[in-house]
């Protein structure tokens, strides 16, 4: 299958985040567009295909126009939220899923969570608090349940995934507080869930990876829930990328562009991305002290818009004395793991799973 192009359904799934992620936030964030006007996206005539890993090129060649496309209407965000991803798999019956509403932060609404593979066993198992992606403005916890069932089965762990409130309707700290409520609930219910409280990790992709990094920082500072590990998959860590910081044109030409990043971060922060000051705890890359954080895995592709910020965050974690493992996928764009038939993706997933098993105190597969 390595030489086959991706299907129209896969193509639609690949471009959904990129196209809708660039959507215009409500008028309150029109300021953000002006603030980032001097930082251009890759030129229209720029060809990113030579920078894509040769293994991935034939799979995405037909999808390039859509992968580079952008929409700039608030209506597109609304439409995306009401539609189902073409690649979304229905959950199976082999691994349990329970939906529950838990109390949010005092004064905030209840938070919906999904609990995957819970239940006491002979020995307490590790657990993962999972956070979905979507540029802080899109996505649902339910959309990835089938993948989480696979992960829970492979690791024999419990997973709690949080349906956090989205920006721009809810700006920081609301989404983070929803995730923290999920983490506190998980820790408070380890007995009923069959979880070892010393082996709880956070994991997320893209904006979910950014929230997972924020959550690790918040857990360290609040000293209520100890974390064993953080698994950050091409995490969205720095609001300055695409706003006040230039990247090479191949980084961010596909799937998630500088324009997308400006709108996502501006919606999440409630102020223009790249502003001189941001709320404390809202931007992991701007957190001065990274000491005392749990060991980390960071995975990213070399033509992802987040490549440089992910490398810099890994460097800063290591400098702060945090054990960090970095996986770099050559010629891989944001969201490349959706091309599951690629050997590059399979190698990357094997690396990530080995690191996660180690971080959770599990034996090698």
pLDDT, greater one: 16 or 221: 221
Q: Are 87 and 335 in contact (CB under 8 A)?
A: no
Q: Are 233 and 299 in contact (CB under 8 A)?
A: yes
pLDDT at residue 33 is higher than 60: no
The listed CATH number (3.40.50.300, 3.40.50.720, 3.40.630.10, 3.40.50.1820) that belongs to domain 97-359: 3.40.50.1820
pLDDT (0 to 100) of residue 147? 96
Structure confidence by residue, pLDDT tens digits, 108-156: 999 999 999 998 788 999 999 999 999 999 999 999 999 999 999 999 9
> How many angstroms separate the Cα of 286 from the Cα of each of 79, 91, 241?
33, 38, 12
DSSP conformation letters of 221-260: HH-SS---EEEEES----TTBTTTB---TTTTSSSS-HHH
Domain regions of the chain by residue span: 97-359
Distance, in Å, from the CA atom of 207 to the CA atom of 213, rounded to the nearest integer, reads 10
> How many angstroms separate the Cα of 205 from the Cα of each of 94, 144, 236?
24, 11, 8
Q: What is the SS3 assignment for 265?
A: helix
pLDDT at residue 160 is higher than 80: yes
Structure confidence by residue, pLDDT tens digits, 247-293: 899 999 998 888 889 989 999 999 999 999 999 999 999 999 999 99
Q: Which of 216, 85, 210 has its CA nearest to residue 140?
A: 85
pLDDT, greater one: 59 or 309: 309
Distance, in Å, from the CA atom of 347 to the CA atom of 351, rounded to the nearest integer, reads 6
């Amino acid at each position: 299958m390595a030489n086959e192009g991706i299907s129209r359904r896969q193509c639609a799934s690949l471009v959904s985040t990129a196209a809708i992620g660039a959507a215009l936030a409500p008028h309150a964030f029109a300021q953000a567009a002006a603030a980032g006007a001097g930082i251009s996206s890759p030129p229209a005539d720029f060809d990113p295909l030579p920078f894509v890993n040769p293994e991935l090129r034939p799979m995405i060649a037909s999808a390039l126009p859509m992968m580079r496309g952008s929409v700039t209407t608030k209506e597109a965000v609304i439409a995306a939220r009401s539609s189902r991803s073409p690649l979304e798999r229905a959950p199976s019956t082999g691994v349990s899923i329970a939906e529950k509403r838990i109390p949010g932060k005092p004064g905030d609404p209840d938070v919906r969570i999904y609990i995957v593979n819970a239940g006491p066993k002979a020995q307490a198992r590790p657990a993962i608090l999972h956070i979905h992606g979507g540029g802080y403005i899109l996505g649902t916890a339910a959309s990835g349940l089938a993948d989480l069932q696979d992960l829970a089965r492979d690791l024999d762990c419990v997973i709690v995934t949080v349906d956090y409130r989205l920006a721009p309707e809810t700006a920081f700290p609301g989404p983070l507080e929803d995730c923290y409520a999920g983490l506190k609930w998980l820790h408070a219910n380890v007995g009923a869930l069959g979880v070892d409280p010393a082996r709880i990790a956070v994991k997320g992709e893209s904006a979910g990876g950014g929230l997972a990094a924020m959550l690790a920082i918040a857990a360290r500072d609040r000293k209520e829930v100890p974390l064993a590990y953080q698994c950050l998959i091409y995490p969205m860590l720095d609001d300055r990328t695409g706003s006040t910081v230039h990247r090479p044109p191949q980084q961010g030409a596909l799937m998630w562009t500088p324009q997308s990043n400006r709108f996502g971060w501006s919606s999440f922060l409630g102020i223009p991305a790249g502003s001189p000051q941001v709320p404390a705890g809202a931007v992991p890359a701007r957190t001065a002290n990274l000491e005392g954080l749990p060991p980390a895995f960071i995975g990213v592709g070399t033509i992802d818009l987040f490549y440089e910020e992910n490398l810099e965050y890994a460097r800063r974690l290591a400098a702060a004395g945090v054990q960090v493992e970095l996986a770099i996928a050559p010629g891989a764009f944001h969201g490349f793991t959706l091309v599951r038939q690629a050997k590059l993706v399979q190698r990357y997933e094997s690396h990530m799973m080995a690191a996660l098993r180690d971080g959770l105190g599990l034996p090698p597969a």
